[in-house]
């Protein structure tokens, strides 16, 4: 395998929209010779003052990330063989986490609507944040 030509960052939250984004990002990485950096973020809800026993949001987020990326890679074994993939679980709000991880990237890919979106919304709040604040080109994938 040759060294990648740039890095494409994709945001993954387990939603159907983020699965579509991961599929698109993998195909684009295979087409352009880029590597793929899959990113999921987590944070404690504001209303929690104590960590409930047995809860590990970082681990749970990593499991969702692995499930989505492993599924996308299994669907497209040819691209999976040619694209180096890294996985990153980041603490913090999704928008800022994605922008930090995409600093210096060739492209940032996000789904149009994630888990927090309400019906009828054309663009999720994280996607809008990334489009407005991103330092690299941003692709918003609609299902």
Query: In terms of DSSP bridges, do strands 85-91 and 107-111 run parallel, antiparallel, or are they unpaired?
Result: unpaired
More confident: 50 or 115: 50
Task: Report the candidate in 91, 130, 88 with the shortest Cα–Cα distance to residue 109.
Answer: 130
Take residue 107 and report the two structure tokens written for it: 């492209």
Q: What is the mean pLDDT of residues 114-142?
A: 78
Q: Convert the pLDDT of each residue in 4-57 to its tens digit.
A: 679 999 999 999 999 999 999 999 999 999 999 999 999 877 666 666 788 888
Quickly count helices (H) and strands (E) in the chain.
5, 5
Q: How many CB atoms lie within 10 A of CB 54?
A: 5
Looking at residue 94, its pLDDT comes to 94
Q: How confident is the model at residue 1 (pLDDT cuts 50, 70, 90)?
A: very low
**pLDDT greater than 90 at residue 96:** yes
């Amino acid at each position: 395998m040759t060294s990648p030509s740039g890095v494409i960052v994709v945001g993954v939250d387990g939603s159907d929209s983020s699965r579509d984004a991961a599929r698109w990002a993998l195909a684009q990485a295979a087409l352009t010779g880029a590597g793929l950096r899959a990113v999921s973020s987590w944070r404690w809800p504001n209303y929690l003052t104590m960590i409930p026993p047995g809860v590990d949001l970082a681990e749970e987020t990593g499991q969702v990330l692995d499930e989505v990326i492993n599924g996308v890679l299994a669907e497209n074994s040819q691209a999976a063989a040619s694209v180096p993939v890294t996985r990153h679980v980041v603490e913090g709000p999704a928008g800022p986490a994605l922008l930090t991880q995409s600093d210096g990237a060739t492209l940032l890919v996000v789904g149009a609507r994630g888990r927090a979106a309400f019906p009828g919304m054309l663009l999720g709040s994280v996607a809008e944040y990334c489009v407005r604040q991103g330092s690299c080109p941003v692709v918003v994938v609609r299902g």
